[in-house]
Amino acid sequence: MGRMEGKVAIVTGGASGIGAATVRRLAEEGAAVVIADLQDDKGEALAAELSGAGLRAAHRHCDVTALPELEAAVAFAVSEFGGLDVMHNNAAWSGGGYVADIDVEVWRRSLAVMLDGVFYGCKAAIPALLERGGGAIVNTSSVEGFFAEMLSAPYSAAKAGVLNLTRSVAIEYGRKGIRANAICPGAVDTPLLDLVVAAGENSREDIAEQHAIGRVIEPREVANLVLFLASDEASAITGASVVVDGGLTAGTRLTGFPTFGGGTYR
């Protein structure tokens, strides 16, 4: 049996990037997965791919900035697959710029997707999780939840908020069988990384070099962490903010010495 056999999961932003990789990993391990995303073509194609491979998945159109749509996604999971055991709040969208220049509507939409959307996902999922006697919530934050980045105030602010929201869920519902954890990726090889490269002065090679492993992270590597935190193997882990960043935040690089073992070993 797979590690998620008999479990039902929802992945928001599940049609591409980290979300799609997570949908695949959960389904491969036996879960029935609802792909909740605005990208209907991609979501339906992924569901068809997995169903064709004998796995269980279904797409549900979902705008995470609207609580009723997340409630409908949860209701769909219950009606289609019999319940809900895992909620992965992963959808993302962000604008940026210097703080004084950020359009108010860009700020509001960024937080609506990445912070309100996580709150709505938790609010919608918790009653269904309690019906099953508990379950797991995994929220996607970022290393930028700990550290700011130039021209990324909406993203960094939302991702920092996700960390304490996750902790709140963990302490409020831990005695009722619900675990809540946040994942904090570094630079992941997704379309979002292409936007970062286009907007900044670092090439993909420059960004890769900042990681101790010498490369950016693959979406499946992040999905493996989500799978672990969603599984019973992580039964004692809750309220955690787990970094999956290839060593991006392991050092300050203030000394000027060669980074990540680039010099002579002693």
Residue 260 lies in a domain: no
Place of tokens 């937080």: 111
Q: What is the CATH number of the domain that holds 86?
A: 3.40.50.720
The per-residue pLDDT string of the chain (266 residues; one tens digit each, 9 = 90 and over) reads: 699 999 999 999 999 999 999 999 999 999 999 999 999 999 999 999 999 999 999 999 999 999 999 999 999 999 999 999 999 999 999 999 999 999 999 999 999 999 999 999 999 999 999 999 999 999 999 999 999 999 999 999 999 999 999 999 999 999 999 999 999 999 999 888 887 888 888 898 989 999 999 999 999 999 999 999 999 999 999 999 999 999 999 988 888 777 766 654 44
Residues marked as catalytic:
155
Euclidean distance between CA atoms 120 and 36, whole angstroms: 13
Residue 76 lies in a domain: yes
Residue 214 lies in a domain: no
Pairing state between β 8-12 and 32-37: parallel
Residue 27 lies in a domain: yes
What per-residue confidence (pLDDT) applies to 100? 98
- Domain count across the chain: 1
What per-residue confidence (pLDDT) applies to 143? 97
What per-residue confidence (pLDDT) applies to 265? 43
What per-residue confidence (pLDDT) applies to 6? 96
Contacts of residue 109, Cβ cutoff 8 Å, sequence gap at least 6: 65, 93, 95
Burial of residue 181, with CB atoms counted within 10 A of its CB: 0-12 exposed, 13-18 middle, 19 or more buried: buried
What per-residue confidence (pLDDT) applies to 262? 60
Euclidean distance between CA atoms 72 and 87, whole angstroms: 14
What per-residue confidence (pLDDT) applies to 260? 67
Strand, helix or coil for residue 247: coil
Residue 150 lies in a domain: yes
18 beta partners? none
DSSP 162-204: HHHHHHHHHHHHGGGTEEEEEEEE-SBSSHHHHHHHHHSS--H
What per-residue confidence (pLDDT) applies to 266? 42
What per-residue confidence (pLDDT) applies to 1? 60
Return phi, psi of residue 171, to 5°. Answer: -80, -25
Residue 160 lies in a domain: yes
Euclidean distance between CA atoms 19 and 84, whole angstroms: 17
Q: Which domain holds residue 91?
A: 8-188+219-243
